[in-house]
């Protein structure tokens, strides 16, 4: 039975980073046939009880299911970025142009989620280029993002 538990290279990784191999699933099924419980098998193999339950109920190894359906905006990342920057971060205008030019009708919230990282980039760029004007003869110092005029 000791030959079933030699998964040392993968045991050091986090649980979500690893897909179970067919050999590991075979070990799960053998242990279940010996009368082991789902949680005990999961503890022994270092995986989730839901993972063990899924493979045991399937009766063997099954490939990863992947995402259910393709994303509507897949492949339009560059177009979205260009339009989002052109309109100064206005996601609603981008949504309207998606409908007019591409024929893709989406909610504003869907477009906002798609451009969230771009919105953060615009905010960082705006902060990085912020200017402070001081009157002639006065010097400006900044400390902890606060401006002080002397």
Q: What is the per-residue pLDDT across 97-107, written as a single tens digit (0 to 9) for each?
A: 999 999 999 99
The pair of three-digit structure tokens given for residue 37, joined into one six-digit string:
């419980």
Q: What is the per-residue pLDDT across 10-62, written as a single tens digit (0 to 9) for each?
A: 444 444 446 788 899 999 999 999 999 999 999 999 999 999 999 999 998 88
Given a contact cutoff of 8 angstroms between Cβ atoms, the answer to whether 141 and 100 are in contact is no
Question: Tell me, what DSSP letter sits at residue 102?
Answer: I
pTM over 0.95: no
Q: What span, in angstroms and rounded, lies between the C-alpha atoms of 104 and 137?
A: 56
Whether CATH 2.60.40 fits 2-58: no
The pair of three-digit structure tokens given for residue 99, joined into one six-digit string:
């409908």
Residue 117 pLDDT: 92
> What is the rounded average pLDDT for all residues in the chain?
81
**Mean pLDDT across the stretch 122-137?**
75
């Amino acid at each position: 039975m000791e030959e079933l538990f030699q998964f040392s290279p993968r045991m050091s990784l986090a649980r979500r980073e690893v897909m179970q191999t067919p050999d590991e699933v075979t070990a799960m099924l053998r242990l279940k046939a010996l009368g082991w419980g789902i949680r005990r098998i999961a503890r022994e193999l270092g995986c989730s009880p839901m993972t063990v339950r899924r493979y045991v109920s399937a009766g063997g190894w099954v490939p990863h299911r992947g995402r259910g359906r393709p994303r509507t905006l897949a492949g339009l990342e560059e177009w979205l970025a260009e339009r989002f920057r052109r309109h100064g971060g206005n996601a609603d205008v981008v949504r309207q142009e998606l409908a007019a030019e591409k024929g893709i009708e989406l909610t504003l919230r869907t477009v906002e989620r798609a451009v969230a990282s771009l919105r953060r980039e615009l905010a960082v760029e705006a902060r990085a280029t912020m200017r402070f004007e001081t009157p002639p003869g006065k010097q400006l110092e900044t400390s902890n993002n606060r401006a002080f005029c002397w």
